[in-house]
Amino acid sequence: MHPRLTSLAAASRSALARALDRLQPHARRLVRFLRLKALIRVVRRRKRLSVAAVAAFAALTVTVVLAFSGSDQSLLARTATAPEVEAQPAPVLAAEEILTATGVEGEFSFVLYDSVEDRYLLSYRADETHNTMSTAKLFIAIGALELGADPADIAKMISMSDDPIANSLWGVVGGPDLITELAGTMGLEHTTPSPEYGRWGDVQISASDMARVVEYVMTELPEDDRTVIVDAMEATTEHGSDGYDQTFGIPTAAAGRDWAVKQGWGCCKPDRFLVSAGTVGADHRYIAAVFGAFDETVSTEEQSAAEMTLVTTAVLRHLPE
């Protein structure tokens, strides 16, 4: 090869090597940036972090992007321009603190959901399944109204948690098939019918799915059907048709606020189960679903109800002012 060409080739290789050395740090930053974007997509799908946490991820994203804007400044210097985000407890950690502070003996799972911002404010054992008890009457009400049932019967079944009406409608609406159908329609992930045909109260559901059921009632039902069910939830009576005191949970904990609720209770499975699920606040924005299980050998009905109200009160303290 001609000496001049040899010299040029050597110079080119040297320049290329220097260029690759300069690009290597940026390549590493690009990999971190792409991994961060993938992580953010996962976070959005799970919807389990607070707005502050998502904002923190966004700030980090901006920082990495700025790293590609030039090579004259250090990454540390550019990081200083990212906005500071005040640290907030994650929904799960905040929920665990509630149970530690209250010192209750029952076993709980619950969620507090902001339907406007589409995020959980609190989430504790949100995907564990429990007996629906009488909250299953929301499924029955949806199916029965679609078939033209008497709105007065539906209202009584919801507000007074009337079992005879639910029993009479269960077969009409399709029983377990209704649960399977509506679980698919609503996108429920943990809801299954009881293997025993007539046991609508033994439908299995999670707190996260229960919140979705309430959201569906509030936002996706035909207006006439929604009005029947929601008005009945807002008119929940002090005692159910069987005489059970159904003021535990949301009705007492949300005193002074607007609320709409469906209560559930039952015993001997082998524990006592209580459920309080509904909306709190103006325009039905916030949805709470609280499940409690209590050892009947050590907890009376009154003690179980008191613990449900205590935990629900602590949950609702996390609502924005």
DSSP 240: -
Interior angle at CA 165, CA 161 and CA 169, nearest 5: 120
Burial of 86 (0-12, 13-18, 19+ CB in 10 A): exposed
pLDDT-derived band of residue 29, with 50, 70 and 90 as boundaries? low
- CA-to-CA separations, 59 to 36, 52, 187, in angstroms, rounded: 11, 10, 32
Average pLDDT on 313-321 reads 93
More confident residue, 59 or 308: 308
Residue 73: the pLDDT is 41
Judge contact between 292 and 107, C-beta under 8 A: yes
- CA-to-CA separations, 265 to 3, 268, 293, in angstroms, rounded: 93, 11, 10
DSSP 83: P
Question: What CATH architecture does domain 91-316 belong to?
Answer: 3-Layer(aba) Sandwich (3.40)
Q: What is the pLDDT of residues 157-208, one digit of tens each?
A: 999 999 999 999 999 999 999 999 999 999 999 999 999 999 999 999 999 9
Ranges of H-type helices in 171-280: 176-186, 207-219, 223-234, 250-253
Q: What is the pLDDT of residues 70-121, one digit of tens each?
A: 444 443 333 344 444 444 457 887 888 888 888 899 999 999 999 999 999 9
Q: Which residues pair with 53 in a beta bridge?
A: none
Average pLDDT on 58-75 reads 43
pLDDT-derived band of residue 263, with 50, 70 and 90 as boundaries? very high
Using DSSP's 3-state secondary structure scheme, residue 210 falls into helix
**What gap in Å lies between CA 310 and CA 253, rounded to an integer?**
8
Average pLDDT on 224-234 reads 98
Q: Where are the domains of the chain?
A: 3-79, 91-316
**What gap in Å lies between CA 248 and CA 254, rounded to an integer?**
10
Judge contact between 217 and 278, C-beta under 8 A: no
Residue 140: the pLDDT is 98
Average pLDDT on 224-252 reads 98
Using DSSP's 3-state secondary structure scheme, residue 313 falls into helix
| Region of poorest pLDDT, from 5-14, 27-36, 211-220, 260-269 | 27-36
Has residue 27 got a pLDDT over 70?
no
Between the CA atoms of 128, 52, 47 and 122, what dihedral angle is there, to the nearest 10 degrees? 30
Q: How many CB atoms lie within 10 A of CB 255?
A: 11
Using DSSP's 3-state secondary structure scheme, residue 89 falls into coil
- CA-to-CA separations, 114 to 212, 253, 282, in angstroms, rounded: 11, 18, 12
Tokens of 304: 């179980």
